[in-house]
Amino acid sequence: MRGKVGRRIATGLLLCAAVGALQARAAAETWVSVWATAQDLTPPPVLNVPPPPPEVMEQFKRGPQRVVPIPDTLQDQTVRMILQPTLAADMVRIQLSNAIGKPPLTLSSVHLALRTQGSAIDPASDRALTFGGKPVTYIPPGAIIVSDPVRLSVRPDQELAVSLYVKGNSGGVTAHPLGLNPAYIAAGDQTGAPSLPAAREVRSYFWLTGLEAAVTQPTSLIVAFGDSITDGFATTPGRHNPWPEILAQRLRVRGGSPQWSVVNMGISGNRVLRDGAGASALTRFDRDVLSRPGAKWMILLEGINDINMSQMKALPADQKADADAIIAGLSAMVSKAHLHGIKVMGATITATEGLWLYTPQSEATRQAVNTWIRSSGTFDAVVDFDAATRDPKRPARLRPDYDSGDHVHPNDAGTRAMAEAIDLATFKQ
């Protein structure tokens, strides 16, 4: 008996020493966000907004379902989520958020591994994560926690799997609805299982909000901050084609020093000034931009939802926005970024003619905001996404070969054109 106790104590001491050594190394290095997603900070407001016209609803039903419904709560279930970092690393940690969780969340087991295919992982790469040296973590409502670092060699073209086990009733979920990559929900604690053959497949991120890497060479972060066009709403799921990911690929090919990471902080339906699909851009700015480790630049593409929703006649007046209001909101975010040493590239708002909400007024507002973005001198740099994606014959409309079919969201070819419109020479230091 004493021998068993002694071995357990020795094993515990070795584990503590290993975690301590990793933490000591981490303290001497720089942490940079190499993957992230934006979580809703508030429940959506209840607005008396009329549905789209019947013909538009039929078009939505016939088209691909971008967001797969997710459960309202989890209990005695494992959720395994897939992500792809933008830089290589050999020591990483994850970030979890319980932004709108009620009650507090307890996770009984959390694992990180290299994904092979489907829900399967490479068992040799599986790492059980700890939080302050303990496998169970408690996340109060509104809080963000970071795991202890683990040694795991990852590549930017290698997908990872993060598995969380919720033993008790989660009482709701904090999620990023449009995950684009698969997530698997299975019964019981299967965080270390090689695969989840009986799992339900969805496409959202639950509580997971970031992956960070310890870097030893100069590394900087670009935060892509925006709405559904940044989120990649109409891109092909599983192909990593939102424009921020294509930008990251271009920067890796260019090489040089510093190396650049890019994270996608888009939320579909997001507005500059008011809550809707997630908290407003102004509300979530501190958490989604300023708190990202290593942030040196932000690419700001926001405003299309403020413009489009303002065309709804039944929308309350206090929910509408004109060009001056949108410009004021964008200006406020640029000023705050500058206070924290982050440079801002302004992105022009892309065309929408053909959308059921398009009106001459919406186009006039878009043009006014774009003129300000291009010429005001507010930004440290500008990328003209509008010029890169509009139809030369009908400039108020997307190019047909870039249009996903809804006349507002660029397809895979369109998001590539957006990424290629960004001048990489801007990102020097």
Between CA 33 and CA 227 the distance in angstroms is 20
CA 186/CA 78 separation, integer angstroms: 5
The gap from C-alpha 333 to its chain's centroid, in whole angstroms, comes to 18
CB distance 297 to 222 below 8 Å: yes
pLDDT tens by residue, the chain, 429 residues: 455 555 555 455 555 555 555 555 544 579 999 999 999 876 666 566 667 778 777 777 777 777 889 999 999 999 999 999 999 999 999 999 998 877 899 999 999 999 999 999 999 999 999 999 999 999 999 899 999 999 999 999 899 999 999 999 998 899 999 999 999 999 999 999 999 999 999 999 999 999 999 999 999 999 999 999 999 999 999 999 999 999 999 999 999 999 999 999 999 999 999 987 778 999 999 999 999 999 999 999 999 999 999 999 888 888 999 999 999 999 999 999 999 999 999 999 999 999 999 999 999 999 999 999 999 999 999 999 999 999 999 999 999 999 999 999 999 999 999 999 999 999 985
**Burial zone of 288 (CB within 10 Å; 0-12 exposed, 13-18 middle, 19+ buried):** buried
- Calpha distance 235→291 (Å, rounded): 27
CA distance 64 to 234: 9
Least Cα distance to 95 among 21, 35, 24 occurs for 35
277, 45 contact by CB (below 8 A):
no
Residues 197-236: pLDDT tens digits? 999 999 999 999 999 999 999 999 999 999 999 999 999 9
- Omega into 54 within 30° of 0, i.e. cis? no
Q: Are 223 and 297 in contact (CB under 8 A)?
A: yes
Contact, 107 vs 136, CB < 8 A?
A: yes
Strands (E) across 304-393 are located at 343-347, 381-383, 390-391
Predicted TM-score (pTM) of this structure? 0.91
Name every residue whose Cβ is closer than 8 Å to that of residue 151 and which is 6 or more positions away in sequence.
22, 90, 91
> In the structure encoding, which two tokens stand for residue 145, read together?
């926690």
DSSP class of 372: H
Collapse the DSSP code of 317 into the 3-class scheme (helix H, G, I; strand E, B; otherwise coil) and give the result. Answer: helix
Q: How far is CA 142 from CA 26, 104, 209, in A?
A: 26, 9, 13
Q: CA 295, CA 212: separation in Å to the nearest integer? A: 12
Name the 3-class secondary structure at 145: strand
